[in-house]
Amino acid sequence: MTKPPSTGPAWPETLIGLGLLGVAALVWWQTGEIRTSPMYAKVGPRIFPYLTAIGLGAMAVAMVVAGLRGGWQLDEEREVPTDWRAVFFVGAGLLANVLLIVPAGFTLASVVMFVLVAHGFGSRQPLRDAAIALVFALSAYFGFAKALGVNIGAGVIEKLLGG
């Protein structure tokens, strides 16, 4: 738990603080938009949101100050380089899932996501992954989802199997 030496501002931390300040401002602005009747003037629906906005704002300011003073991230974490390639493939998997789930159904979307995410994590056997994903997604669909009674989008594959 050693604090990093203050070697000028730490931009990621400062940016996070500024981003949170933006959220606080958004909460404050949107609270003003909540309609309220004089009947509830003293215990209305705005008091808690205003308190929340103030709390968020105060923490955001403290974080910006801490960020400008060198940030709070531990050295060991700061030194780990971000693996953008892995993040890209995981992100691509998530995006594919959102885009495919309505037109193609849950199983197909899951298989595509599974293969992309596994690739991001370093797997180099896309065909094997796809086979595992197909079995896994189908058993999740017919086991887990049906047992829970949740209804998830049936696509071509599910309908063929009588889902």
Which residue shows structure tokens 């994590």?
Answer: 121
Q: Which of 122, 156, 159, 160 binds other proteins (CB under 8 A)?
A: 122
Residue 161 neighbours by CB distance under 10 Å: 12
23 binds other proteins (CB under 8 A): yes
Would you state the torsion angle of the CA atoms of residues 112, 118, 120, 123, taken in this order, to the nearest 10 degrees? -130
Q: Which of 114, 155, 157, 158 binds other proteins (CB under 8 A)?
A: 114
CA distance linking residue 61 with residue 8, whole number of Å: 18
9 binds other proteins (CB under 8 A): no
144 binds other proteins (CB under 8 A): yes
Q: In terms of Cα–Cα distance, which of 112, 121, 119 is closest to 94?
A: 112
Which residue shows structure tokens 């829970």?
Answer: 148
User: What is the closest distance, in whole angstroms, from the C-beta atom of residue 5 to other proteins in the complex?
Assistant: 17
Nearer to other proteins, 6 or 30 (CB): 30
CA distance linking residue 11 with residue 3, whole number of Å: 16
Q: Which of 11, 22, 32, 48 binds other proteins (CB under 8 A)?
A: 48
CA atoms within 13 A on the CB side of 12: 6
Which letter does DSSP use for residue 144 in this model? I
151 binds other proteins (CB under 8 A): yes
User: What is the closest distance, in whole angstroms, from the C-beta atom of residue 9 to other proteins in the complex?
Assistant: 15
Q: Which of 11, 102, 159, 160 binds other proteins (CB under 8 A)?
A: 102
118 binds other proteins (CB under 8 A): yes
What mask of x and - would describe binding to other proteins in positions 56 to 85, judged by CB under 8 A? x--xx-xx--x-----xxx--x--xxxxx-
2 binds other proteins (CB under 8 A): no
43 binds other proteins (CB under 8 A): yes
Q: In terms of Cα–Cα distance, which of 108, 78, 59 is closest to 5?
A: 78
